[in-house]
Amino acid sequence: MPDRVLFCLGVIVIAALAPDVAWAASSGGGGLPWETPLQTLRDSITGPVAYAISLMGVVAAGAALVFGGEINDFIRRIIVLVLVISLIIFSTNILSTLFNAGAVIR
């Protein structure tokens, strides 16, 4: 058992002292077939049209929940779903505007 502990400690020390060793690819694209459609989807979700639609969705869903009166459970769930999707898109646009970039790994 102590041999395993020493081995694990040795691996941790080597990993800590050798930060230049790259465990992942350092260059960008691997040319995978699903990268382009996902990039297009990300650009569509973070664009100005999606921002405007999500802002209108937040207002409309909030108004429907506040002023809706008697609505059944199914319609309420649809309204909450629209509200959540709108908030996700809205927050994505707000965060990308505030921080101007995603995670940068060097």
What one-character DSSP code corresponds to residue 27?
S
What averages of pLDDT result for each successive group of 10 residues across the chain (106 residues)? 76 71 56 83 80 85 84 87 86 76 51
Give Cα separations from 87 to 56, 59, 90 (angstroms): 11, 10, 5
What does the chain come to in residues? 106
Kindly state whether residue 9 falls inside one of the protein's structural domains.
no
pTM of the model: 0.52
In a domain, 74, yes or no: yes
Domain count for the chain: 1
> Has residue 95 been placed in a domain?
yes
Is 6 inside a domain boundary? no
100: left (phi over 0), alpha (psi -120 to 50) or beta: left
- The residues near 62 (Cβ < 8 Å, ≥ 6 apart) are 83
